[in-house]
Amino acid sequence: MTRIYSALSLFKEGLTGQTGWKQAWRSPEPKASYDAIIIGGGGHGLATAYYLARNHGIARVAVLEKGWIGGGNTGRNTTVVRSNYYYPESVELYGLAHRLYEGLSKDLNYNVMLSQRGMVNLCHSTAEMEIGARTVNAMQINGIDAELFSPEDVRRVAPIYNFSSDARFPVFGGIWQGRAGTARHDAVAWGYARAASQLGVDIIQNCEITDFIIEGGRCRGVQTTRGAIRAERIGMAIAGHSSVLAAKAGFRLPINSYALQACVSEPVKPVLDTVVLSPGTGVYVSQSDKGEIVIGGGLDRIPSYAQRGNLPTLETVISGLLEMFPIFGQLKLMRQWAGIVDVVPDSSPIIGESPLPNLFLNCGWGTGGFKAIPAGGTLLANLLATGKHNDISRPFDLDRFASGRLIDEAAGSGIAH
């Protein structure tokens, strides 16, 4: 049986007809009880399970997923990994995720195809350049790599941008993060699933939570479509559906669920080897390894649980794309989809114990959960193992809404929420 992925394994398997590969993760029947249950088999849930087993030695863990792993927002994002945030709390959080991403393929023995091709947030006026300089300074002071780009620098990394003299959104410069890039989103889910499963975690798909088991005012487990499962601690990483389970647990969250859509074109020859974001159009663009142009924009404006986008938003995004890159005017769109994202008033995540004791939250990532997967997993695992915050997760507790200590990163994401 071949368990390790390597060039040598590939060569050896080649000699024996590729018959020795083992299933990447087990699909066991759920047990009656676990040390910890994680609701949600997306990137954050699977990463939580992996770090519980690896960092804390807790492997009697189940990940419960109502559909298939990585089928929610993990499979619906635009795969951008970056940490160009403004506030120190955010930098700690997204910086941790970014550093873990850089070692992830090796950690998991699974190629997540991290491609650090850099990302430029454009500035379209002198005023935006001043704000850009402030952002770059803040990032540098907080220890994140950042550079203020001149128009010539932008032209060097994105020569196909619309630099014509009558461009609606002219380039005055940009904010560059060279370590930013993209990763293969499915591979992140599958890599964490495989590594967690090898450490003893049970990954249980097609298992929907129907209710919580509450005894003595504490959460003691969950009722599922595959029976009751009890646990000492329960974590929840279900993005846009957090409010739905919170209602079952008897509390409300500061979340509105919206559809965030994205689309890809037909594959074309390499034309764009970086990620370009324009705050003027609200559109960001990269080119996948297969050659597709991957296009993302702002939220749909209507609260929704429908995993598809509305046409007016798509029209806005495509208009913005063509302002930025007239060269894409002949491109054919191949696919368009949406995920349901959990939007919080300050555009920062919620990590911490819920109002129902023993139930812990990892939610509120809004439009930016994918880049944070390794940090979300590390921090929820720490909470489930110790019951306590560490310095990185503490500022993101739910109590910030009563205390007023919001971490307003609406600008950090580069597009208006």
Q: Which residues does residue 351 pair with via DSSP β-bridges, in sequence order?
A: 362
End-to-end alpha carbon distance in the chain: 49
Distances (CA, A) of 126 to 30, 129, 154, 172: 59, 5, 15, 7
| C-beta of 124 vs 241, nearer to another protein | 241
Report if residue 254 touches another protein, rule: CB under 8 A: yes
Instruction: Find the helix or strand (DSSP H, E) in which 214 lies.
Output: strand 209-215
Q: What's the closest the beta carbon of residue 253 comes to another protein, in angstroms?
A: 7
- Category of 237 on φ-ψ map: left (φ > 0), alpha (ψ -120 to 50) or beta: beta
Give the integer Cα–Cα distance in Å for 415 and 417: 6
Q: Give the SS3 label for residue 298.
A: strand
By CB under 8 A, name the one of 7, 15, 32, 402 that touches another protein.
Answer: 402
Judged by CB under 8 A, does residue 127 bind another protein? Answer: no
DSSP tag of 326: G
Nearer to another protein, 107 or 397 (CB): 397
Total residues binding another protein (CB under 8 A): 22
Q: Which residue, 190 or 258, is less far from another protein as judged by CB?
A: 258
Residue 247 found at the interface with another protein (CB under 8 A): yes
Q: CB 308 → another protein: shortest distance, Å?
A: 10
Q: Which of 49, 361 has the CB closer to another protein?
A: 361
CB of 32 to another protein, least distance (A): 29
- Regarding 337 and contact with another protein (CB under 8 A), the answer is no
Least separation, in Å, of the C-beta of 246 and another protein?
A: 9
> How far is the C-alpha of 163 from the C-alpha of 357, rounded, in Å?
56
Comparison of 223 and 256: residue with beta carbon closer to another protein: 256
Could you give the CA distance from residue 137 to residue 280 in angstroms, rounded to a whole number?
22
Q: Is 401 among the residues that bind another protein (CB under 8 A)?
A: yes
Query: Residue 37 in 3-state DSSP?
Result: strand
Looking at the Cβ atoms of 74 and 304, the one nearer to another protein is 304
Binding segment (CB under 8 A) for another protein, from list 53-61, 165-173, 249-257, 325-333: 249-257
- Taking CA atoms, 76 is separated from 80, 182, 202, 330, 394, in Å, by 12, 14, 24, 25, 29
Selected binder of another protein within 345, 392, 394, 410 (CB under 8 A): 345
DSSP 170-185: ---EEEEETT-EE--H
Q: Dihedrals φ, ψ of 119, to 5°?
A: -140, 140
Considering the complex, state which of residue 72 and residue 377 has its C-beta at the smaller distance from another protein.
Answer: 72
92 vs 346, which CB is nearer to another protein?
A: 346
Q: Helices in 360-399 by DSSP H: which ranges?
A: 373-386
Query: Of 252, 269, 290, 332, which one interacts with another protein (CB under 8 A)?
Result: 252
Burial class, 324, CB count within 10 angstroms (exposed 0-12 / middle 13-18 / buried 19+): buried
Q: Does 66 bind another protein (CB under 8 A)?
A: no
| 9 versus 256: smaller Cβ distance to another protein | 256
Question: How near is the Cβ of 21 to another protein at its closest, in Å?
Answer: 39
Chain positions 206 to 245 lying near another protein, rule: CB under 8 A, are: 241, 243-244
Residue with smaller CB distance to another protein, 302 or 334 = 302
CB of 241 to another protein, least distance (A): 7
Name the minimum Å distance from CB 395 to another protein.
Answer: 16
- Kindly state whether residue 256 participates in binding another protein, applying the rule CB under 8 A: yes
Give the Å distances, CA to CA, from 95 to 180, 336, 346: 11, 30, 19
Q: Is 308 left (phi over 0), alpha (psi -120 to 50) or beta?
A: beta
Q: Residue 257, interface with another protein (CB under 8 A)? A: yes
Question: Helices 185-198 and 43-56, interaxial angle, to 10°?
Answer: 30
Of 253, 293, 338, 375, which lies in the binding site for another protein, with binding defined by CB under 8 A?
253
CB of 179 to another protein, least distance (A): 34
Phi (first) and psi of residue 304, to 5 degrees: -155, 150
Q: Are 354 and 363 in contact (CB under 8 A)?
A: no
Asked if 76 interacts with another protein (CB under 8 A), we say no
Site for another protein in 7-26 (CB under 8 A): none
Contacts of another protein in 285-314 (CB under 8 A): 301-306, 310-312
Query: How far, in Å, CA of 410 to CA of 86, rounded?
Result: 10
Residues that bind another protein (CB under 8 A): 241, 243-244, 247, 252-257, 301-306, 310-312, 345, 401-402
